[in-house]
Structure 1
């Protein structure tokens, strides 16, 4: 029997294969190669930005693709509308990641409407949240997964040096759907700690796929 998408991710690593605007790595073929490297290393899935990159990754990698669409370079909102979400499904995303924080969506729509549209198109939804109540509400509105992606990245959400394991633990107990630990997971030990806190699976991005940011850390550290 083929495992469900959720079962295929249980206890395993998801690699975020993205690059920010202006970064030399922000090139479709380069990002696909990141995904292929993640697959070769044993990742269970990849998290990919932009329909073009999603489609190219789906065509070449054998992993489930979690698609998102960061539309714009400033004030970015992850997959802001149902239209963005459906474009990702059309590109082949098995799961669509979308902002489910308390912030109003740019077009005035609701997260619940996005979930309904994605489910109708045959894909699953990962709710990116910053706080417990957001995650609980997203699960009630039909999200298949809840991820701690935005903890520390939206107003009112305090930034921590490492992953928000308290939020992971609280959501794992209280939201009723698989919880994905994402955000500032920098070491294998932190990833294991996230699983121990109740995470269904763990997303790692910068620590694996961001040579520009990692080089900058070394440069700054050596400069004292």
Structure 2
């Protein structure tokens, strides 16, 4: 339990930065992600969210900040790709990340189960591991809390077929999470400016994750170009 308290104390009311680059992006490299992580650590970030064992391993060499680990893996006939199966969870367990985030939507997973069916088994097998539920709706957040997740995130709001039309950041949903759930809420998704981050923290969240607006220069450049094209 001490480890659990330590993680939440370290990120309480502070910024977590997502340091990720997909395979089709120029910065896709464990070495580059470690340097990205070092840069945000030097700037004052209090936690890192990272994708893949390779990236996490390199990031751990340059910082001892708490890490939320995920593995993005696409499988045929399933829309679930954030830590979608037990295989990815075991890889992250073996790597020793502080918290593991996984898709906690109601969608069918690659193994044919739903989160309500598979997570009780995960929780029983790894009782001391922290798990974060990546959700897209309040109902999913409520169910995730009942299943025993340690933290709930708004990560997938806007990224499921039934939420794709919502505007991000979804301040209303974030506030609903805070007002309804008892476990720590970690806001994530579409936070693009310091002003938006401040507004997110004003809702009372435990912590917040910013990614693309800080660590994905290709996407940042596109936003600037779009502004002058408009």
Q: TM-score, normalised by structure 2?
A: 0.90
1:219 to 193, 216, 225: 225
SS class of match (1:98): strand
Residue 176, structure 1, aligned to residue 176, structure 2: no
Does 1:93 find its partner at 2:93? no
Aligned partners of 1:61, 1:116: CA distance in 2, in Å?
A: 32
Contact 1:58 1:92 in 2 (8 A): no
Indicate the residue corresponding to 2:156 in structure 1: 150
- Which stretch shifts more, 200-209 or 168-177? 168-177
Give 1:43's aligned residue. Answer: 45
What pairs with 1:1-224 in structure 2 (closer than 5 Å)? 4-72=6-74, 75=79, 77-111=81-115, 113-114=118-119, 116-117=121-122, 120=126, 122-224=128-230
What is the deviation of 1:156? Answer: 0.8
**When the two structures are superposed, what TM-score results if normalisation uses the length of structure 1?**
0.92
Structure 1 stretches of at least 4 aligned residues deviating more than 6 Å after TM superposition = none
Are the aligned partners of 1:13 and 1:203 in contact in 2 as well (CA < 8 Å)? Answer: yes
1:56/1:73 CA distance change after superposition, 3 Å: farther
CA deviation digits over 1:76-121, x for unaligned, max 9?
6100012211211211211001000010111123435446536627
How many residues in Structure 1 have an aligned counterpart in Structure 2? 224
Secondary structure, aligned partner of 1:4: helix
C-alpha contact 2:158 2:168 (8 A) present in aligned 1 = no
Q: Tell me how large the CA RMSD over aligned residues is.
A: 2.1
- C-alpha distance in structure 1 between counterparts of 2:193 and 2:41, whole Å: 18
Cα distance, 1:220 vs. partner?
2.8
Cα–Cα, structure 1 residues 110 and 162, in superposed 2: closer, same or farther, change >3 Å? closer
* Alpha-carbon distance between aligned partners in 2 of 1:73 and 1:47, rounded to the nearest angstrom: 22
**Structure 2 Cα separation of the partners of residues 68 and 87 of structure 1:** 10
| Matched-pair contact (CA < 8 Å) for 1:82–1:114 | no
